[in-house]
Amino acid sequence: MNPYTELLRPANFALSAAAVWLGYALGAGLLFDGPVALAMISAAIIGGAGQAINDYFDREVDAKKNKSKPIPSGRASPASVKLFAFTLFFTGLVLAWLVNAAAFAIAVIAVVSLYAYSAFLAKKKWLGNWVVAGNTALLFVFGATITGNYSVVAPLALAALFANIAREIVKDLEDLKADRGFKRTLPLVAGETWAIKAALFALFAACVFASRPALAGALLFAGLVALADLAALNAARLTLKKEYRGGQSWLKLAMLAFMVAYASTIIV
């Protein structure tokens, strides 16, 4: 894979665009139009820039822990990666400005927080987790800026916030030994037991926020939400058994299932 494509994390790039589309479509009742295309590209580019700048600041740690990444492998220089990230940040901001003022304001918040996370908070990951989760939640709000219909995306945005907090904590639990001496994660600060409890609480909150609209929703929507809840329940079970890799995989599956459930209300 081209090193600069790899820096963007193609899967995350696509998911960012999809989240923006969903935030728009839930409020508009439409599948697509010009402004949402700009918003999707803007969000995906800014997210990719955040990944690239993170690799730039993490290059010394990656040289010890993950030598296959573009910078430690020598496939991309630190200077070129930094320039690449700044170019993407700028491009994403310009595209957001073309959408509307609210979208531009959210884009500015995202750019500042993503840079701050990589430059200053990466080692204080217990705090940085909120930056990552918050920016994920803002993707849905970003899409909603086109319609101004924020109330309909609020449950999904809040669910995304807490689901990503849970995922980040479970990821930190999985990396507990590798992070020791490099980062201050919640498991290292509060202990493994308390970190597990925090992850489960966040996961429960995510399910509550995402599932509540299903009580008054269509049968298909309610059924898909129930499947997502089951996936989240299995993620919790695996986390309690300290099978963190499996827990993280099921958490991702639950998050994707919730997105599909909400998308079904537009498409069907």
DSSP symbols for 8-59: H-HHHHHHHHHHHHHHHHHHH--S--HHHHHHHHHHHHHHHHHHHHHHHHTH
Q: Are residues 47 and 106 in the same domain?
A: yes
Q: Encoding tokens for residue 7?
A: 């820096």
pTM: 0.91
Q: Give the span between the Cα atoms of 66 and 61, in whole angstroms.
A: 8
**What DSSP character marks residue 120?**
I
Which residues span the domain enclosing 88?
1-147
Domain of 202, CATH number, reads 1.20.120
Domain match, 7 and 131 both: yes
Count of CB atoms within 10 A of residue 46's CB? 27
Residues 122 and 214 in one domain: no
Are both 41 and 23 inside the same structural domain?
yes
> What CATH number corresponds to the domain at position 79?
1.10.357.140
Split into its structural domains, the chain has a count of 2
Q: Is the pLDDT of residue 241 over 80?
A: yes
CA 257 to chain CA centroid, nearest Å? 15
Residues 42, 120, single domain; the answer is yes
**pLDDT over 80 at 217, yes or no:** no
Q: Do 119 and 215 belong together in one domain?
A: no
- For residue 182, is pLDDT > 80? no
Tell me: the pLDDT tens digits for 16-56? 999 999 999 998 876 778 899 999 999 999 999 999 999 99
pLDDT at 247 over 70: yes
Give 127's pLDDT tier (boundaries 50, 70, 90).
confident
Is residue 95 located within the same domain as residue 194? no
Average pLDDT over residues 206-227: 83
> For all residues of the chain together, what is the average pLDDT?
91
Of 147, 171, 200, which closes a domain?
147
pLDDT of 213 over the 80 cut: no
Buried-state track 69-82, b at ≥16 Cβ within 10 A, e below 16 = bbbbeeebeeeebe
pLDDT at position 50 is 96
